Amino acid sequence: MAFLEIRNLMKSFGNVDVLKGINIEIEEGGFLVLVGPSGCGKSTLLNTIAGLEAITSGDISIGGRSVAGLHPSKRDIAMVFQSYALYPNMTVAQNIGFGMEIRGIGQTDRDKAIADVSELLQIGHLLDRKPSQLSGGQRQRVAMGRALVREPQVFLFDEPLSNLDAKLRVDMRTEIKRLHQRMGTTIVYVTHDQIEAMTLATKIAVLKDGILQQFGSPAEIYNDPANMFVADFMGSPSMNLIPARIETEGNGVAVVISKRGGGEAVRLPVENANGLTAHAGADVIFGIRPEALTDPDGADRTGGGLVNAVCPIEVVEPAGSDTFAVTHLGDIEVTARLRADAAIEPGREETLTFNMTKAVFFDPKTESRIA
């Protein structure tokens, strides 16, 4: 039985439909990340879980109890906002203790809880300061402290790290992960940073225009994207989505990709072609991640399915740990990820290895996955 369950959730502002039938469920102690481009409805979804926005239809339940219609303070949730939303006129200690004060918890119990949380987050020395006297990272910690002290059933985070600089963001990400492992409380976390999503989540929900595109574990989302949007959105650099054609070859099929300037097409035979045979003769979008397109020596030999092809290399970008090479296939730029010391030069035709076991295929019209 799922702990947090969102069933057929719809939300409209006036006649604008923002969420269009969302179904998500997550087990107790899970870490659900909502990702999607700006304006897709992530914050709205989070706010409906928090009870800050009323839902138009559908249901939300936490721990088997429907919370639709319950006041935010009665849902046993705590929220960390993007702007931290610390009360500017109160000290750190008062900020953390405000909820308890409202609920009528006595001063001594309050002080004890504040001390515990501030020790956990190492903000004990800041308790008498006002939010304006804190750095961004310290504010972030205080905001988390205010959420932690409630000991809720579900934590809600709305892009908590987006106001921090890159280094601090990575540190805080690790810290959030550590806190989650330590407390085991269910978390719903909004971000539009797909790396945050991949590293933190036990389940990811990808949203676009208020529609749930895919819901699954990070590995499922990454390796088995349901459509071109998810494939393109998750991963950095993003998946190469190359227009191609399926042709029969022997008793299997091959992916045929035209080269720039009408040179000889690249033919990539597919061994386990069960899903693809039905599409023989059809145009498809061939999706392959940069790390599945390598120099022959750097290819992953464990799974088989390796096919070599000669491709024109246009640009080579050494990035320290890897070298990225840009080639041109099927009229789009395609990124390959090579070993750092791969001998490759721009302007030449080089042999690249396609790991066809990692390839995915989409219908160019509907953009959904076909194999």
Ligand X SMILES: Nc1ncnc2c1ncn2[C@@H]1O[C@H](COP(=O)(O)OP(=O)(O)OP(=O)(O)O)[C@@H](O)[C@H]1O
Report the alpha-carbon distance of residue 25 to residue 62 in Å, rounded: 10
337 binds ligand X (CB under 6 A): no
Q: Minimum Å distance from CB 158 to another protein? A: 9
Decide: is 83 part of the binding site for ligand X (CB under 6 A): no
Long-range contacts of 135-140 (CB under 8 A, 24+ apart): 136/163, 136/164, 136/165, 136/168, 137/164, 137/168, 137/171, 137/172, 139/84, 139/86, 140/84, 140/164, 140/172
d(Cα 13, Cα 54) in Å, to the nearest integer?
Answer: 10
Distance of closest approach, residue 233 Cβ to ligand X, in angstroms: 13
Which is nearer to another protein, 79 or 338 (by Cβ)?
79
Binding mask 183-202 for ligand X (x = CB under 6 A): ---------x----------
Provide the binding-site residues for another protein, judged by CB under 8 A. Answer: 47, 50, 52, 71-73, 77-79, 81-83, 85, 87-89, 98-99, 102-103, 146
**Which parts of 39-78 interact with ligand X (CB under 6 A)?**
39-44
Residue found under tokens 């039905």? 278
What's the closest the beta carbon of residue 48 comes to Mg ion, in angstroms? 13
How near is the Cβ of 16 to another protein at its closest, in Å? 15
Residues numbered 33 to 62 that lie near Mg ion (CB under 5 A) are 43
Count of residues near ligand X by CB under 6 A: 12
If you ran DSSP here, which 8-state letter would residue 297 be given?
Answer: G
Q: Which is nearer to another protein, 82 or 162 (CB)?
A: 82
Distance CA 1, CA 25 (A): 9
- Select from 154, 194, 158 the least CA-distant residue to 47: 158
Alpha-carbon gap, residue 266 to 238, rounded angstroms: 21
Minimum Å distance from CB 227 to Mg ion?
A: 23
Tell me how far, at minimum, the Cβ of 359 lies from another protein, in Å.
44
The reply to whether 13 sits near ligand X by the rule CB under 6 A is yes
Nearest to Mg ion of 156, 325 (CB atom): 156
* Number of Cβ within a 10 Å radius of residue 140: 24
- Does 16 participate in binding ligand X (rule CB under 6 A)? yes
Rounded distance, CA 220 to CA 203, Å? Answer: 9
Q: Which is nearer to another protein, 72 or 243 (CB)?
A: 72
Q: How far is the CB of 130 from another protein (least distance, A)?
A: 11
Q: With respect to another protein, which residue has the nearer C-beta, 188 or 293? A: 188
| Contacts with ligand X, residue ranges (CB under 6 A) | 13, 16, 18, 36, 38-44, 192
Q: Which residues bind Mg ion (CB under 5 A)?
A: 43
